[in-house]
Amino acid sequence: MIFDPLYLIVLAVGGLLSFWASARTKGAFAKYSKFTTRAGFTGAEVAQHILNDNGISDVTIEPVPGKLTDHYDPRTRTLRLSEPVFGGRSMSAFGVAAHEVGHAIQHATGYSMLKFRSAWVPVANFGSGLSIFIIIAAAMMGGVSTAMGANLAWLGIALFSTTTIFTLVTLPVEFDASRRALLALEAGRYVDGEELDGARKVLNAAAMTYVAAFVTSLLTLLYWAMRLGLLGGRDD
Which residue of the set 100, 174, 186, 194 is catalytic?
100
* Buried-exposed string 206-229: b where 16+ CB fall within 10 A, e elsewhere: bbbbbbbbbbbbebbbbbbbbbbb
60 Rama sector, left if φ>0, alpha if ψ -120 to 50, beta otherwise: beta
Q: pTM (2 decimals)?
A: 0.90
Residues linked to residue 64 through DSSP beta bridges, in sequence order: 82
pLDDT for residue 235 is more than 50: no
Q: What is the pLDDT of residues 102-159, one digit of tens each?
A: 999 999 999 999 999 999 999 999 999 999 999 999 999 988 889 999 999 999 999 9
- Closest Cα partner for 78 from 64, 92, 67, 65? 64
Evaluate whether 81 touches 66 at the Cβ level (below 8 Å).
Answer: no
Domain ranges (residues) in the chain: 5-227
| Annotation says 45 is catalytic | no
> How many angstroms separate the CA atoms of 217 and 177, rounded?
22
